[in-house]
Chains A and B, each alone.
Chain A
Amino acid sequence: MDWQPLVLTFKLAFVTTIILLVIAVPIANWLSSTHSKMKPVVETLVSMPLVLPPTVLGFYMLVAFSPANFFGNWLNEWLGIRLIFSFEGLVVASIIYSLPFMVQPLQAGLASISPTLKEAAYTMGKSKRTTLFRILLPNIKSSILTGIVLTFAHTVGEFGVVLMIGGNMPGKTKVASIAIYDEVEALNYAAANNYSMILFAITFAILLLVYLINGGYLKRYSR
């Protein structure tokens, strides 16, 4: 069995999750505390990938990143990055595609914290940054964990966007979901089943772990 698609899948999910965590914290922090008129617009944009067919997203990214167009050409000439049919392209696409899965739990978590915690820290002379890292984030650990896991799992399960923008290049863009589709097309059901079973088992294990941690079951046993 070829392990490459699985390794690539988890590498993609890992990189995407790490980058998204960094990007989503400031976005969620802003959304949870702002009264700006732009808030509904930003919220809509963040949530769009939830409802938009992945192929639509993939199609527009394919167009945007293509070296035949201005943006793709600029990336290619100035930064030497080609985002179509490459792993980097998959990462960028996954970040956009999984954005709501990270932002929404963080935003909900931050909104659930009593505003007086933040205000108390401010009256003690603490900066917004210190307050965020020492008070707000440590108190929404379960939301952070939920965001991380949903993003990771969602990226593992990605198909449409990857197919549109990455294609099916072994070792570069052929992730597990594509490999399964490929094997089924070739009527190679045994190989498809291998990939599927592994994804099924790992996804189950990850989600179970989250519910155990967030439900406090592990703590109860460790006491």
Chain B
Amino acid sequence: MIEINLTKKLRSTGGSMLLDLELKIKKGEFVSLYGVSGAGKTCTLRVLSGLLTPDKGRIVVNGTTWFDAGKKINLSPQQRKIGYVFQDYALFPNMTVRQNLEFALQKGQSKSIVDNLVAIVELGDFLNRKPSTLSGGQQQRVALARALVQRPEILILDEPLSALDHKMRSKLQEYILKVHNAFNLTTILVSHNIGEIVKLSNHIYELHNGRVVREGKALDFFNAERNSAKFRFTGEVIHIEKEEVIYVVSVLVGNSVVKVVTDREEALALTLGDQVFVASKAFNPILERI
């Protein structure tokens, strides 16, 4: 159980903001933090991992106090032992993949965990390569494996897949789920991608201006006011076009484009890049073998 109850004044790009958090994350859960840029998602991860010190409040993890402003307790990032996958991966450029992984070993820890992780994320072919010679997806796998070498109980993923293409994304989502289950992790993911959040997490917190404005179970969360639909996909609005009296909105679902007819009001409410659901209820979708 991770209990976070704290405040921290932040200076962000749009002036100052108060991070005011109250979170309770159960052991073994896969939690996502969702929200617009600058809502305080990354800061939440940094506060939990000890890279950022709150002004007031407490952080208690599995009964151990990590931070308590009143009692002046503040464990260093070193003592917190969190597996942290950074957005830029933070692989050490001077080391090979194997050296990157072995650097994360704790004193006296057996090297067998490295081989184990290498097998899980299928890195065997790249062990002697430097990070700069790897593709984005390969670097991502190294970062994920490296974060797990010290056997943390908590895994933090800061927009880990944002730089990858769709195919790589879904492959890596599977790796993430695999390690989450294999190592009994409590995982906290920051993501903008609704599809990814729904696919991976049990519980979602939406942050806005440093506060949790909404929370809920993954599927209910993005579907709060709607009835259950027959089929439903998430996608991104990539084009809006006016044709006579109607509007045609092109939505990128996975790697195919779906055109949806909408009326004027609906179309004007959308902007390019919006994440939307494409759903149908009244009609049965047609399946055709290809």
Q: Residues of A at under 8 Å CB distance from B? A: 114, 116-117, 119-127, 134-135, 138-139
Please, which residues of chain A bring their CB within 8 A of the CB of B90? Answer: 114, 116-117, 119-120
Known contacts A135-B94, A139-B93; is-contact A125 B86 (Cβ 8 Å): no
Please, which residues of chain B bring their CB within 8 A of the CB of A124? Answer: 103-104, 146, 149-150
- Closest 10 pairs between A and B when the two form their complex, measured CB to CB: A116-B90, A120-B90, A122-B77, A138-B94, A123-B84, A124-B104, A116-B86, A125-B78, A123-B77, A139-B94
Question: Chain A: which residue is nearest B80 at the CB level?
Answer: A123
Compute how far the CA of A139 lies from the CA of B78 in the bound complex, rounded to whole angstroms: 21
In the complex the two chains form, is B78's CB within 8 Å of A127's CB?
Answer: yes
Number of B residues with CB within 8 Å of any CB on chain A: 26
Q: Quick check: is B184 within 8 A (CB to CB) of the other chain?
A: no
Please, which residues of chain B bring their CB within 8 A of the CB of A135? Answer: 92, 94, 103
B residues 146-171 touching A (CB-CB < 8 Å)? 146-147, 149-150
Known contacts A135-B94, A138-B94, A139-B93; is-contact A123 B83 (Cβ 8 Å): yes
In the complex the two chains form, is B86's CB within 8 Å of A120's CB?
Answer: yes
In the complex the two chains form, is B94's CB within 8 Å of A126's CB?
Answer: no
Between A114, A123, A124, A127, the greatest number of chain B beta carbons within 10 A of the residue's beta carbon is seen for A123
Main secondary structure of the interface of B (DSSP, over half): loop
In the complex the two chains form, is B88's CB within 8 Å of A116's CB?
Answer: yes
In the complex the two chains form, is B78's CB within 8 Å of A117's CB?
Answer: no
Q: Quick check: is B239 within 8 A (CB to CB) of the other chain?
A: no
Contact with A along B123-164 (1 / 0, CB 8 A): 000000000000000000000001101100000000000000
- List 14 interface pairs A-B (beta carbons < 8 Å), by A numbering: A116-B87, A116-B88, A117-B90, A120-B84, A120-B86, A120-B90, A120-B92, A122-B50, A122-B51, A123-B80, A134-B103, A135-B92, A135-B103, A139-B94
Please, which residues of chain A bring their CB within 8 A of the CB of B271? Answer: none
Compute how far the CA of A122 lies from the CA of B51 in the bound complex, rounded to whole angstroms: 9
Q: How far is the CB of B78 from chain A (nearest CB, A)?
A: 5
Known contacts A119-B84, A119-B86; is-contact A125 B92 (Cβ 8 Å): no
Compute how far the CA of A90 lies from the CA of B37 in the bound complex, rounded to whole angstroms: 56
Q: Quick check: is B81 within 8 A (CB to CB) of the other chain?
A: yes
Compute how far the CA of A117 lies from the CA of B131 in the bound complex, rounded to whole angstroms: 13
Between A121, A122, A127, the greatest number of chain B beta carbons within 10 A of the residue's beta carbon is seen for A122
In the complex the two chains form, is A122's CB within 8 Å of B76's CB?
Answer: yes
Compute how far the CA of A135 lies from the CA of B91 in the bound complex, rounded to whole angstroms: 10
Please, which residues of chain A bring their CB within 8 A of the CB of B228? Answer: none
Q: Quick check: is B49 within 8 A (CB to CB) of the other chain?
A: yes
Compute how far the CA of A125 lies from the CA of B88 in the bound complex, rounded to whole angstroms: 20
Compute how far the CA of A126 lies from the CA of B76 in the bound complex, rounded to whole angstroms: 11
Compute how far the CA of A138 lies from the CA of B104 in the bound complex, rounded to whole angstroms: 17
